Structure 1
Amino acid sequence: MSYSPNSELLRRTIDLNYANKKRASSMKWIAINGLVLLVFAYDLWGKCAGYTSLLHYAELCVAGVAAANLLQHAAALARARRLARAAPAAARRPGPAADTSLADTDASAAEEMAAEALSLSLSMSAGRAWRSSPPPSPPSPHTPHSAGAPSSPASPLGRHERDEFIADRRSLADYLRSRADRGRAEGAEPGWGAPGPAAAASPVYQLAAVETDGGSPEERAEAGAGPAAWRRLQLDPQRLTQFNLNLRVWLHATVLVRVARELDALDAAFAAHGLSDVRMGQVSTERLRKLAGAFPALAPLLPFLEPFPDQQYVVQRYRELAAGGCLSAYRWSGGGAGWDEARPADAELLLHALAAYLDAQLPREASGAGGFSARHVSAAPAPPPRGPRALALHRAARAPPHFVLVHGEETVEVGAGRNNLLHCLLVFVALCGAREPPALRRLHLGPAGLNLLWVIGR
């Protein structure tokens, strides 16, 4: 999945915002140039005999320039109006990146969305201190997207194939054509994705139902285990796709991009100091701890790496997850090249990265443990924390990864599958947001703090 200012929906929104600004600017300059033209035209019409020819020609030149500017801005105004009419019309066309609600978007909403998208790219270059400023506010997409190709037993996707993001009808047609070509090349019978009698029809995108009677056991569990939790927390099940996307954007922009940027910066710092044999992922954590005194940026990064013995894989996987927009490389029960069950699955690695990031934001426990990890993360075989104020993400199984949410004395199941961790995090955010004030140990979850409430539209 990819989300960037080049996406179709965001491009249309920026075009609409640009057209509105051009229209306002053109109207302003039309008024100014029209006033100047009227003044000089009136003066030339009623000129007195005492005017010299030089002054007469100067006024003619100014009037001519004003008239030319007036025509130019009038043409620009006409173009801006055509563009403003074309953007909502294009948004009304059905497709995976267009929603009919975009047709009703006014200028202020378009301007806000475009500004948020631009602020995301700018915020990523604003210093490398983990605690110096609130995390960036990722753009709030108006359209839910699928996290990848559908997962079902009949899917021909291999175990190590990456999900492909379907951005529009053309990319869908290309994907189906590639699947059909691969099936013919391998001599397989036409299956899912192969051309058939219905392939000639134009594809129609519909929102998947939350509850279903069909599909695999994993899909039924994922669809049916969560609605009770969503209703109790006043989360709209039909908006889960959008919340899922919002959370992916937040995790990618706030945590993973920063981790990858710090890894690259430290490699550059090692090389600049002549430590050619030191690279992140190539040396042990013991040596990195010794180097932390000479490289202050290293100490905040060590918690992201320390629990895992295979440093090379973890560093490379952090970079891979940060490279694609919106966690496009995320494989909840697997990983990157060379992954096996001895290495952390992406779900486990993602939760650890989030916990390490929040540990850096929250005050540490008296025992020295991270403030978030000590109170809000646990894993079997250790029992989950219980109590009236308990709120924790508990890993009930490692292979495949399965997480539950512990709330007081209750265990909240949100369903198994690839969205298990993401849905647990959404419920966790909703529970924290329901508090007054919405905070994690004095760290506000709103725009002035973590800005996590944006994920669930609050």
Structure 2
Amino acid sequence: GSSDSNSPSSSPTFWNYSRSMADHAQILRKFQYQLACRSQAPSAHKDEADLSSKQAAEEVWARVTMNRQLLDHMDSWTAKFRNWINDTILVPLVEEMESVSTQLRRMGCPELQIGEASISSLKQAALVKAPLIPTLNALVQYLDLTPNQEYLVERIRELSQGGCMSSFRWNGGGDFKGRKWDTDLPTDSSILMHVFCTYLDSRLPPHPKYPDGKTFTCQHFIQTPDKPDTTNENVFCIYQSSINPPHYELIYECHVYSLPKGRNNMFHTLLMFLYIIKTKESGMLGRVNLGLSGVNVLWIFGE
């Protein structure tokens, strides 16, 4: 094992806290609300679709575990996972954006506001002002997804409100400047996948092979038109096989696991990724423990 000084939890990121289980009791109360808010309108057609989708999911999960009861927990896991993303990544990210914008204004750079400045000028500022605003470089990684910084920052704020990402639209996003979301903007799924990968980039130790710091993204996320090498048994990654509408698959030990399409596809694919880490990789992703001592995400599976 590595010593504490190498552990990602002591790395200089602005997400250096690890939550206790007690903190999560309050989180779970938030969800009961969201699960209860699902539309209750009876629809035979929808029930059939749900059933066939559930059966399809069961077949995929059966290749990973013998535990048949697993799918009964899926709604609860999904809710907890959405909350973990919100509390661990989105809320601190929004706070950091505000903080960095304030620091830049105080330094006499009002043109460099997060959500207004271009990503290239922020990258330049991160190089020049690194000693003065050490978190700017980390922040830029989260924002480096779309040229439309104004939309991205506004949407991250919207998603972080209310605790359980109630505004999340898997195949779309929010209105922007009075017009409906369109495919020139990233989907909410793309935004969440990007911040999830970037967060794990910040928690994995630096790797000489990935000098840009994208240690997790480079090893565990592949997006079309690139394709994963399914003949290499060491490839363990989330593969985005379609951008609009977004669809994700999991590649593990030369198998492709494709969970049903739709609003939960990304969450369920990430849950399967994390479940495999918990059950088959002893909670370790490379040298980092994703359980209590590390990133603290595996608590969502409970016991």
1:241 to 66, 70, 75: 75
Q: How does 1:423-438 map to 2 (within 5 A)?
A: 423-438=268-283
* Partner-residue secondary structure (3-state), 2:241: strand
Query: Which structure carries more relative contact order (alpha carbon 8 Å, separation 6+)?
Result: 2
State, as a whole percentage, how many aligned pairs show the same letter: 26
Label 1:130 to 1:333 Cα distance change in 2 as closer, same or farther (>3 A). same
1:389 to 210, 234, 251: 234
Query: How many angstroms apart in 1 are the aligned matches of 2:48 and 2:111?
Result: 49
Label 1:221 to 1:342 Cα distance change in 2 as closer, same or farther (>3 A). farther
* Partner-residue secondary structure (3-state), 1:236: helix
Listed as ranges, the gaps of 5+ residues in structure 1 are 1-127, 149-164, 177-191, 194-211
Quick check: 2:14–2:135 contact (8 Å CA) kept in 1? no
Amino acid at match of 2:190: E
Aligned residues: 275
1:309 to 144, 147, 150: 147
2:18 to 135, 141, 149: 135
Compute the TM-score of the two structures, normalised by the length of structure 1: 0.55
Label 1:218 to 1:390 Cα distance change in 2 as closer, same or farther (>3 A). farther
**CA offsets, 1:356-388, max 9 Å, x none?**
010011134414241110111001121123321
Quick check: 1:222–1:420 contact (8 Å CA) kept in 2? no
* Partner-residue secondary structure (3-state), 2:135: helix
* Partner-residue secondary structure (3-state), 1:133: coil
**CA offsets, 1:150-179, max 9 Å, x none?**
xxxxxxxxxxxxxxx739xxxx9xxx9xxx
- What is the deviation of 1:223? 2.3
Question: Partner residue of 1:344?
Answer: 186
- What is the deviation of 1:219? 4.1
Amino acid at match of 1:400: P
Quick check: 2:145–2:194 contact (8 Å CA) kept in 1? no
Q: How does 1:32-431 map to 2 (within 5 A)?
A: 129-130=12-13, 133-137=16-20, 138-140=23-25, 141=28, 145=32, 166=37, 214-215=45-46, 219=50, 222-231=53-62, 232-233=64-65, 234=67, 236-292=70-126, 293-294=128-129, 295-338=133-176, 339-365=181-207, 366-369=209-212, 370-386=214-230, 387-431=232-276
Quick check: 1:146–1:241 contact (8 Å CA) kept in 2? no
Query: How many angstroms apart in 2 are the aligned matches of 1:380 and 1:216?
Result: 32
Query: Which of the two has higher C-alpha Rg?
Result: 1
Query: How many angstroms apart in 2 are the aligned matches of 1:378 and 1:364?
Result: 19
Label 1:389 to 1:147 Cα distance change in 2 as closer, same or farther (>3 A). farther
- What is the deviation of 1:331? 0.8
Amino acid at match of 2:223: A
Listed as ranges, the gaps of 5+ residues in structure 2 are 1-10
**CA offsets, 1:320-367, max 9 Å, x none?**
111221111111111111221111100111000000010011134414
Amino acid at match of 1:166: C
* Partner-residue secondary structure (3-state), 1:422: helix
* Partner-residue secondary structure (3-state), 1:411: strand
* Partner-residue secondary structure (3-state), 1:337: coil
Label 1:404 to 1:275 Cα distance change in 2 as closer, same or farther (>3 A). same
Query: How many angstroms apart in 1 are the aligned matches of 2:29 and 2:145?
Result: 38
Quick check: 1:438–1:445 contact (8 Å CA) kept in 2? yes
* Partner-residue secondary structure (3-state), 2:167: coil
Label 1:222 to 1:449 Cα distance change in 2 as closer, same or farther (>3 A). same
Q: What is the RMSD computed on CA atoms of the aligned residues?
A: 2.8
Label 1:132 to 1:143 Cα distance change in 2 as closer, same or farther (>3 A). closer
**CA offsets, 1:117-161, max 9 Å, x none?**
xxxxxxxxxxx952673533451538974856xxxxxxxxxxxxx
Question: Partner residue of 1:456?
Answer: 301
